[in-house]
Structure 1
């Protein structure tokens, strides 16, 4: 089968890519395509398409006449046309396990960092300052605080384990949680962590109304997807100090590489916000697991028994 990776995937160790090349006619590109036209040119003949960062053009299903399978190297799959692919008998599989530890650890790291103002304090020292008072940079402890964990999949479960390990009290919202219950959890939480996939149901799940439900001392952490949050409403709440702070790894409309969008820079300029450029997944160990999951997915497809099917 013709297998195509149309983008640079340097997080996966080479040994896994070498193993992939033994499974079929494989083409791996070493850079990112520029624009939809170049993406289509790269993927038009693929039977198995393996993607991570790029967003496929809207018409790709019509162009890729030989396409049978899409292997996503991410746990999320909301950016794929699931129903349309199913109608054309194209199977989409994801990679649900590889990043659980990495993203959960990054989530907790953001909680610690924003609650203690660590990066703001570091920037202060870089400018040659120390402290005007022994009590500058007053922070809060995680121990004893209430965490509203929104999402209880592989990542969410690991976040809960780590949070309880440092003494947090945890309330969990999953796909069965009612809107009323979610509102109640958000209104009572000291920290809100978001780890749900982007779907039609979860888009703008944390909207202006729910942001306004948060306590003034609450911290918001997002390591899921940017489109799940009303980014403008979040910025306003943070700028007006209606909530205490935020740790953000994902945003709306961000490229895989290149310059940070203006709206992200705007958020990063706030003293009560810590921003990272979508790197929560990015550890050596997660790269190893991603490589194994990729091979497991492709081997299962070749055997005619695909796993991790999402459509």
Structure 2
């Protein structure tokens, strides 16, 4: 009898094809939400292996729901603190858990897509593309060269990068190609030769906030960056400046951001991440105040949403399950 694999949401077909070669595969069909704990319990009772996409939380009750559960594969890397799965319960019950490994080749594709999403948000805000779309679809008479849709553009503007990790580094040549000046800050400043090669200028965080037309948050999230950007930081920004966050929601004091947007302390924002999203919260729930604003672009933490990135991500996880089913030891197997 073929083993049964349950997949937490629709994923690209190449990954499903890999699984179907060795197992019966069931996919949770919804595209608009993550699974509830009750749904996970029912799924676990009927499956041998669980394929868990980001944003889902595998609790003690889910793992205990099936004493014969043979493995759980998480699509993301293992972090020092993982609230997305109860590893202690899995270990106690002898349920193998695998994380994405090696992470870097997969993450490079995700970083590429996240970089492009960030650039897209800058361009959307600079040229008011979403406003222009709404205006054109409104059914009203249209005016060519209308002043209703004026934007700052990007040529000659300053982009400030808070953090210079993999995503931000990929952004630099794109920003330069748009003829923007690029400021950056990070814990350890680059060597002068590297700065010249990249065409970037170092500045401290406060200086970046004061000078930039587009502030892009790209810090890693950790205790030292928790709520690093708040009311004081938004007050430093120019009233014509835009704030883009494709890093992590909890680096930002979200109520302070809401106030800064409502009061027009800043001109607008592009947000792919929020305070309330898994694993810190059971589900993604952007502040409802954002829904009322016409100066904010929202995306559901979907930075890696290209066919290339998502296919490679899910194929890598499928390989881990195939290895488990075959009796092998996946590279991402948790051993401690």
- Are residues 305 and 283 of structure 1, via their aligned partners in 2, closer, same or farther at CA, if it must alter by over 3 Å? closer
1:220-239 aligned at under 5 Å gives the runs: 220-239=243-262
Q: CA deviation at 1:55?
A: 2.8
Maintained 8 Å contact 2:52/2:73: yes
Q: CA deviation at 1:227?
A: 2.9
- Are residues 105 and 296 of structure 1, via their aligned partners in 2, closer, same or farther at CA, if it must alter by over 3 Å? same
The yes-or-no answer on 1:96 pairing with 2:107 is yes
Aligned to 1:114: 125
Aligned-CA RMSD value: 4.0
User: How big is each residue's C-alpha offset from its partner over 1:81-123, in whole Å with a ceiling of 9 and x where there is no partner?
Assistant: 3897389495533552332232221211110111122222332
Inter-partner Cα distance in structure 2 for 1:308 and 1:172: 37
- Are residues 190 and 47 of structure 1, via their aligned partners in 2, closer, same or farther at CA, if it must alter by over 3 Å? farther
Maintained 8 Å contact 1:40/1:57: no
Aligned to 2:287: 263
Of 81-90 and 210-219, deviating more is: 81-90
Aligned to 1:80: 82
> Is the radius of gyration larger for structure 1 or structure 2?
2
Maintained 8 Å contact 1:45/1:66: no
Aligned to 1:203: 226
Aligned to 2:134: 123
TM-score, normalised to structure 2's length?
0.71
Inter-partner Cα distance in structure 2 for 1:57 and 1:72: 10
Inter-partner Cα distance in structure 1 for 2:221 and 2:151: 32
Inter-partner Cα distance in structure 2 for 1:290 and 1:156: 21
1:256-295 aligned at under 5 Å gives the runs: 263-264=287-288, 266-295=289-318
Aligned to 1:52: 53
- Are residues 97 and 62 of structure 1, via their aligned partners in 2, closer, same or farther at CA, if it must alter by over 3 Å? same
Maintained 8 Å contact 2:55/2:84: no
SS for the counterpart of 1:206 is coil
Aligned to 2:197: none
User: How big is each residue's C-alpha offset from its partner over 1:168-214, in whole Å with a ceiling of 9 and x where there is no partner?
Assistant: 2223344657xx93333333322122234544444323233322332
Aligned to 1:145: 157
Maintained 8 Å contact 2:41/2:62: no
Aligned to 1:18: 17
| Equivalent of 2:168 in 132, 156, 159 | 156
SS for the counterpart of 2:287 is helix
Inter-partner Cα distance in structure 2 for 1:269 and 1:189: 26
Maintained 8 Å contact 1:4/1:43: no
Which residues of structure 2 form unaligned runs of 5+? Answer: 190-202
SS for the counterpart of 2:159 is strand
The yes-or-no answer on 1:182 pairing with 2:205 is yes
Inter-partner Cα distance in structure 1 for 2:220 and 2:80: 7
Inter-partner Cα distance in structure 2 for 1:246 and 1:86: 40
Q: CA deviation at 1:236?
A: 0.9
Inter-partner Cα distance in structure 1 for 2:231 and 2:264: 15
